[in-house]
A and B are shown apart, each in its own frame.
Chain A
Amino acid sequence: MSATPSAATPATPVAAARPGAVALWWRNLCYVFGENPLSAIAAGLFVFFIVLAALGPWLVPYDPLASHVGDPLSPPSAAHWFGTDALGRDILSRVIIATRLDLGIAVAAVALSFVVGGLMGSFAGYFGGWFDRISTRVSDTIMAFPLFVLAMGIVAAMGNTVANIVLATAIINLPFYLRVARAEVRVRRDAGFVEAARLAGNGELRVLFHHLIPNILPPMMVQISLNMGWAILNAAGLSFIGLGVRPPEAEWGIMVAEGAQYIVSGEWWIALFPGLVLMLAVFCFNLLGDSLRDLIDPRRRT
């Protein structure tokens, strides 16, 4: 390896390509949105959900926990757009308030598995050796379970709390981040710019954190957005079977569960609206994930 002057002042591809990259990225964004109008709808929905989560308490027409704000089990009307449940609580208010909790659980879980899985994967991919073997074994073991079932077992064993729902969701998502980070670091470990950074006298950790990890962030971001919808579904599924969030707290999964017994007698609105909103949220994140992947890695488009 000949240390030319340009190699002695290492510049990561991310940094070097920055000015042109933003313009290119923007053009790409316009192209993706133009090609697939659904992506634009998903982006709109995303903003909508963020607003609901942030401003929920100021938007609700009624107190979401107060019973008898309307007649029990009354169908949707002008006063109660989504109707009321068996205790006479306003379903619209409960659906809005639940946004923050549902998204919060999913974001916390995904952030946790992103940080832990990403770091473990980066170390495993960069240093190899025993740490690589152990972390690969751990992620293989997690993947040997049907993931939702493992989450059930974890919450049952550790205690029925919201924090444990977050933890369980994070654990079952960990292997995906670990694998992506490990593979991406591995292919770049001996790349020219990494060699250059090493030759310039950077320590191993500095090379890893300043030169490699910034470069594996794009595929990791794609993983996050593909994962978010699934994390929401998972958390809602756990609370649907009675884990985690306790009634009377408003949460989409639990609200669907509360409405389940009324659906066979024809009171459809109790389960329908929280279910629809949940579906819409997951749909929005899945669409965004696909668009983001098309944007960052067009070759993986399916």
Chain B
Amino acid sequence: MIQAILKRLLGAVPAIIGVVIVTFVLTRALPGDPAAYFAGPAGSTEAIEEIRVKLGLDRSLPEQFVSYVGDLVRGDWGNSLTTGQPVLAEIADRLPASLELTLVGLLLAVVVAIPLGVLAATRPGSWIDHLCRGITTAGVSLPTFFTGLLLAYVFYFLLGWAPSPLGRLDPYTTAPDFVTGFYLIDSLIAGELDTFVSAAKQLILPAITLALFVLAPLARMTRASMLGVLSADFIRTARASGLRPTTVLFTYAFRNALLPVLTTLGMVFSFLLGSNVLVEKVFAWPGIGSFAIEALVASDYAPVQGFVLAMALLYVLLNLLIDVAYGLVDPRARLEA
């Protein structure tokens, strides 16, 4: 098992190299001349030339690439012009907020989508099957930023059930001591129940918004793969042998049906991390997505590039985790690795 994971880790190396090359190309494709940009409008030609040498822009592209990779490895991801802080520190600071939102959204989606898909597959043509079909088609059509606003309007403005859609805590609550950076967990560790409730209240609407969007592909895939497995010969044999229907459904069918669902999780994470940015903007969530948007608006490019790189590395890591989970569910995948 350990060996398989190590092999898979090595397999992620080309993806990481590709990601770094692309972010390097994006850095060089900056609009305008970075040297002229740093010298300011009053910069003389000599000053621009000096800065060009200082930034290493006079060297060949391969040389620049090597020093770029060196900087990345040393943790020098550039400085944000607006806040003056190192980009890496800013991202590390805000990452837990984004991760908490993403993971809770995913959890909600999985908890709803998988039972829905299984139920729809076991009762084809029933109302629950039609409900599943309706939700899956409507779900992928929802612009996340719009559903978020709609939820905020209904649950905050009309019903008053949710707190104002601004940030991770209401203004009267202080953040719990930093342990994991996840307010839900940290507040429990600190034993502050009020903080937990406040954080959960703030989290629920954005998390539902995210969940609504990724529910569709998950439910659809669960239904399809469950349908496929249920009509397989080994299920017929299991039924004919007189096994209990629940045993057939869960031990035999569900475990096999889970494999394609795990594979779609990769795509689902791509959706999640992307729509995370939009949801963060709608709910003024202080994560790395809203950080990147602020930087974009201010034409501050180092944070944007840092953000793209961080998201890509995170995505590679998540895919790695999915592969490991795949090996846990399917012993065959372990043998092949």
Instruction: Using CB atoms and an 8 Å cutoff, list the residues of chain A in contact with chain B.
Output: 38, 137, 140-141, 143-150, 152-154, 156-159, 229-230, 233, 236-237, 240-243, 253, 256-257, 259-260, 263-266, 268, 271-272, 275-276, 278-279, 282-283, 286-287, 290, 302
A179, chain B: closest CB distance, angstroms: 13
Please determine whether A153 and B305 come into contact, CB atoms closer than 8 angstroms: yes
In the complex, given contacts A237-B145, A302-B224, what are 16 additional A-B residue pairs having Cβ atoms less than 8 angstroms apart? A141-B19, A141-B21, A145-B19, A145-B22, A145-B312, A147-B270, A149-B308, A157-B30, A233-B141, A237-B274, A256-B143, A263-B153, A264-B153, A264-B165, A268-B153, A278-B143
Please tell me if B215 contacts chain A, counting CB pairs below 8 Å: no
- Contacts A264-B152, A302-B224; is A149 near B293 (CB within 8 Å)? no
B residues in contact with A253, CB < 8 Å = 143, 145
* Any A CB within 8 A of the CB of B220: yes
Tell me the complex Cα distance, A19–B234, Å. 43
Interface size on B, residues (CB 8 A): 58
A241 touches B140 (CB 8 A): no
| Alpha-carbon distance between A264 and B150 when the two chains are bound, in angstroms | 10
Distance A255 CA – B143 CA, assembled complex (angstroms): 13
Distance A229 CA – B141 CA, assembled complex (angstroms): 7
Decide if B274 touches A144 in the complex (CB within 8 Å): no
CB-defined contacts of A230 to chain B, threshold 8 Å: 140
Residues of A within 8 A of B150 (CB): 272, 275
> In the complex, which residues of chain A have a beta carbon less than 8 angstroms from the beta carbon of B316?
144
With known contacts A256-B143, A283-B137, A241–B23 Cβ distance under 8 A: no
Chain A residues with CB under 8 A of B293:
241-242
Residue of A nearest to B164 (CB): A264
Q: What chain A residues lie within 8 Å of B146 (beta carbons)?
A: 256, 271, 275-276, 278-279
Binds A, one of B173-181, B198-206, B236-244, B296-304: B296-304
22 residue pairs of the A-B complex, CB under 8 angstroms, read A145-B19, A149-B307, A150-B308, A152-B292, A152-B296, A157-B26, A229-B141, A230-B140, A240-B278, A241-B278, A256-B145, A259-B149, A263-B149, A265-B157, A268-B153, A275-B143, A275-B146, A278-B143, A279-B146, A283-B141, A286-B140, A302-B220
B68 to chain A, nearest CB (A): 14
Contact B157 A233 (CB under 8 A): no
Inter-chain CA distance A144–B12, complex, in Å, is 10
Inter-chain contacts of A275 with B (CB < 8 A) = 143, 146, 149-150
Q: How far is the CA of A266 from the CA of B154 in the complex (A)?
A: 10
Q: Quick check: is B18 within 8 A (CB to CB) of the other chain?
A: yes
Q: Which of A144, A146, A154, A157 makes the CB contact (< 8 A) with B15?
A: A144
Chain B residues near A286: list those with CB within 8 A: 137, 140-141
Given contacts A145-B22, A256-B149, contact A236 B143 (CB under 8 A): yes
CB neighbours of B315 from chain A (8 A):
144-146
A contacts with B: majority SS: helix
Question: Is there a chain A Cβ closer than 8 Å to B195's Cβ?
Answer: no
Does chain A have a CB within 8 A of B27? yes
Residues of chain B within 8 A of A237, CB atoms compared: 143-145, 274-275, 278
Q: Do B23 and A153 have beta carbons less than 8 Å apart?
A: yes
* A67→B27 CA distance, assembly (Å): 40
User: With A148-B275, A149-B277 in contact, is A140–B292 under 8 Å at CB?
Assistant: no
| Minimum-distance CB pairs A-B, first 9 | A148-B274, A141-B18, A275-B146, A153-B308, A146-B273, A283-B141, A302-B224, A157-B26, A282-B141
CA A276 – CA B141 in complex, angstroms?
A: 11
Chain B nearest Cβ from A237, distance in angstroms: 6
Which residues of B in the span 17-58 have a Cβ within 8 Å of any Cβ on A?
18-19, 21-23, 26-27, 29-31
Complex interface bits, B210-238 against A, C-beta within 8 A gives 1, otherwise 0: 00000000001101100000000000000
A181 to B50, CA, bound (A): 49
Given contacts A141-B15, A149-B307, A241-B293, contact A282 B269 (CB under 8 A): no
Measured CB to CB, the nearest residue on chain A to B136 is A302
A241 touches B143 (CB 8 A): no
Inter-subunit contact A141/B143 (CB<8 Å): no
Q: Does B311 sit at the interface, judged by CB under 8 A?
A: yes
Q: Considering the complex, which residues of chain B in the window 226-277 have a beta carbon less than 8 Å from any beta carbon of chain A?
A: 269-275, 277
A168 and B305 alpha carbons, distance in the complex (Å): 15
Q: Point out the residues of chain A lying under 8 angstroms from B301, CB to CB.
A: 156-157
* Chain B residues, Cβ within 8 Å of A241: 277-278, 281, 293, 296
Report if B87 contacts A (CB, 8 A): no
B156 within 8 A of A: yes
Cross-chain contact of B141 among A150, A264, A279, A302 (Cβ < 8 A): A279
The verdict on B188 contacting chain A, using a C-beta distance below 8 Å, is no
Q: Are A158's CB and B275's CB within 8 A?
A: no
Q: How far is the CB of A34 from chain B (nearest CB, A)?
A: 16
